[in-house]
């Protein structure tokens, strides 16, 4: 997807971490010059067949309470945007992994934002194994905001690139458009535990292709850590970057980003937000 749509979708479950992610997104919206923010809560409950009347009344009450919560959060976000960006709310009963792409299409979403912890009925969607599901099915750039992230502007972003078939597997235009929109410096990082691979003819050819697309305004770096997560986060923290960008693939280097334990470790052990962009 080309990052040309200026609308932002924020997923919430009203937890403190989701609130922090929403606040972060609202502050980011000013740097991105977002046109509209859609604040969304999924009230999906599996197996709603044959619900007793008492439970149905209770659920209706919960629906109204959650709608009020959305309105309160909407007011908070409008303060952060100085009223310059319209904020609308949406609540429905669709499963979150379905709703994300449907809303993305109908609302012309350019960026989806979610926190990394949750509570109540959405906990298993916004955290744990379903976080991986949402990340896999989401067709739109997805920003995952760790609980300790505090927005102070994004001036430096690192793109963790695998030097393999880069011409076919990297969405150059989307990444460049996003980085240009936030006016950040872009660092390109290749993590490979075997240092000698850097000098292979195939690797050099892939690097040349990478440079031809991103140009010399970006800076190029290498890490020889034994695993992806350590190499990326160590580099990001040493370089004091504000954003990590990754392109998940079905196979290969960044498939590890969707391994349950590694994804949790990467998110929880760094305060740096992670932007996932599909090819």
pTM: 0.84
Identify the sign of the CA torsion 247, 248, 252, 257.
positive
Fold of 156-276: Rossmann fold (3.40.50)
Per-residue pLDDT of the chain (279 residues; tens, 9 = 90+): 445 568 999 999 888 888 999 999 999 999 999 999 999 999 887 655 555 644 555 566 688 899 999 999 999 999 999 888 999 999 999 988 899 999 999 999 999 998 875 344 444 444 444 566 677 789 999 998 888 899 999 999 999 887 776 767 788 889 999 999 999 999 999 877 656 556 577 778 878 888 888 888 899 988 877 677 778 888 999 999 999 998 876 434 444 544 444 444 444 456 889 899 987
- Predicted local confidence at residue 44, as pLDDT: 82
Which token pair is 33? 């010059």
Domain residue spans in the chain?
A: 7-145, 156-276
- Predicted local confidence at residue 126, as pLDDT: 43
- Predicted local confidence at residue 222, as pLDDT: 85
Distance, in Å, from the CA atom of 47 to the CA atom of 32, rounded to the nearest integer, reads 40
Domain range 7-145, its CATH number among 3.30.70.100, 3.40.50.620, 3.30.300.30, 3.90.650.10: 3.40.50.620
- Tell me the residue length of the chain: 279
Identify the sign of the CA torsion 139, 46, 49, 13.
negative
User: Which segments of the chain are extended strands (E)?
Assistant: 7-11, 36-42, 87-92, 109-115, 142-145, 156-160, 185-191, 219-223, 243-246, 274-276
Which token pair is 32? 């991105």
H or E element in which residue 169 lies? helix 166-169
Q: Provide CB contacts within 8 A for 48, sequence distance 6+.
A: 93
Would the CATH topology of 7-145 be identical to that of 156-276? yes
Give, as one character, the DSSP assignment of residue 93: S
């Amino acid at each position: 997807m080309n990052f040309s749509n200026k609308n932002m979708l924020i997923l919430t479950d009203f937890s403190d971490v989701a609130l922090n992610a929403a606040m972060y997104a609202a502050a980011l919206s000013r740097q991105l010059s977002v046109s509209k923010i859609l604040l969304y809560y999924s009230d999906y409950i599996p197996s709603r067949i044959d619900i007793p009347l008492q439970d149905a009344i209770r659920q209706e009450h919960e629906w109204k309470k959650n709608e009020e919560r959305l309105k309160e959060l909407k007011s908070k976000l409008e303060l952060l945007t100085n009223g310059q960006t319209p904020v609308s709310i949406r609540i429905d009963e669709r499963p979150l992994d379905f709703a994300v792409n449907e809303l993305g299409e109908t609302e012309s979403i350019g960026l989806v934002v979610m926190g990394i912890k949750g509570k109540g009925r959405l906990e298993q969607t916004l955290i744990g194994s379903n976080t991986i599901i949402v990340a896999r099915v989401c067709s739109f750039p997805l920003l995952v905001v760790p609980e300790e992230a505090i927005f102070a502007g994004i001036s430096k972003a690192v793109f963790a690139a695998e030097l393999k078939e880069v011409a076919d597997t990297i969405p150059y235009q989307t990444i460049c458009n996003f980085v240009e929109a936030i006016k950040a410096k872009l660092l390109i990082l290749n993590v490979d535990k075997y240092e000698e691979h850097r000098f292979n003819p195939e690797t050099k050819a892939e690097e040349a292709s990478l440079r031809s697309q991103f140009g010399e305004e970006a800076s190029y770096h290498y890490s020889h850590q034994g695993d992806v997560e350590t190499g990326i986060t160590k580099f990001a923290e040493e370089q004091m970057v504000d954003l990590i960008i990754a392109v998940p693939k079905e196979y290969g280097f960044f498939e590890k980003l969707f391994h349950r334990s590694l994804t949790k470790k990467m998110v929880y052990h760094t305060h740096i937000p992670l932007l996932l962009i599909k090819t």
